[in-house]
Amino acid sequence: MYLMNTLAEYMRRSCIEDVFRLGSFKLAWGIWHDNIRSFVRDFEDPGQVINLGDHLKEVFYSTTKSGRGQGTLSSAGSAWECLVCWYMNLCLIGSNAVILRPLKRFIPDPVSQAITVNYGSFKSNSESDLIALIFPSEFEVPEDVDIGDKTSVDDLIGMQFSEFGVGIIQCKTNWNDSSQIPMLWDMVYSSKGSKERGISVGTSLYSINDIAQFFYAFVTVPTTQGPHKPESTHVLRVRSISGGNYWGLPDKQSVANSLKEIFRRNFVTAYERPQREILRMNLERLETDYSYFSI
């Protein structure tokens, strides 16, 4: 049996349990669950689970309503982020990677420092986004370290931080009005700052310049009807971002990839064996170790 990274799995469980406490996600789950079951009839088949990425828009739309106000839009955005978090973590069980919600209690301090953008004396991070954390393949937690103690975990990760991979995954329900945001943030991170303009990335202790892998990705429903064409402005804006452009639909050439393709592009180092093999072994435990996914 493939040995789980205990810290990654602890983080995964904590994050998904928190997702189910979010009001908008909790309210939608009863309907989403039934829709997910219509697309994934056999949860022991890794192919069916991964292919759910082609249908996330349909799942999300099963609870949408017309005439949304700003409060509802904000709630829908949080629900979409949580659905993406749930799906990606499910596909990553048994791997060395975890997807974390952008809350201080979940994000290790070295990661928060590394993705901080400094503009003169002003410090900022990308908008509220999911964070992918990819552990080194030989990462181990010493017996005397309490994985529930964030300070101890921060110290442990900090000691091996140069071997980690980090990704920022921006989730937006709307595409047309949001595409310039990930484009600009990816430009900042990819350029690693500008000394002439007083812009830098990271702190004196931790920086994305010093880690094994960094990527920035964009994931949209999308709620806008389009047209989504290769020459559309919103498509061109995110075409070349480092971690890829994805949506909750099947691939459309030169427009967007299905979210399921994010694993092939950005999580190769998270697996010591092919993803399908590790996922197949771990899906057998959805009613025990992974019952928190509420399948």
Residues 6+ apart with CB under 8 A from 82: 19, 22, 24, 25, 101
b or e along 172-190 (b: 16 or more beta carbons within 10 Å of the residue's beta carbon)?
bbbbbebbebbbebbebbe
CA–CA separation, 108 and 183 (whole Å) = 25
pLDDT for res 155: 97
The residue written with tokens 């994010």 in the block is 262
Report the distance separating Cα 179 and Cα 239, nearest Å: 10
Q: What is the pLDDT of residue 128?
A: 62
User: pLDDT tens across 262-281, in order?
Assistant: 999 999 999 989 999 999 99
Instruction: Determine the length of the chain.
Output: 295
Given a contact cutoff of 8 angstroms between Cβ atoms, the answer to whether 175 and 226 are in contact is no
The stretches in the chain having pLDDT less than 50 are: 1-3, 66-71, 73
Q: Cα-flanking dihedrals φ and ψ of residue 118, to 5°? A: -105, 120
Q: Which secondary-structure segment (H or E) carries 185?
A: helix 180-191
For CA atoms 198, 204, 209, 214, the dihedral sign is negative
Residue 256, pLDDT score: 97
Whole-angstrom distance, CA of residue 253 vs CA of residue 270: 27
- Position 55 scores a pLDDT of 98
Q: For position 176, what pLDDT does the model report? A: 86
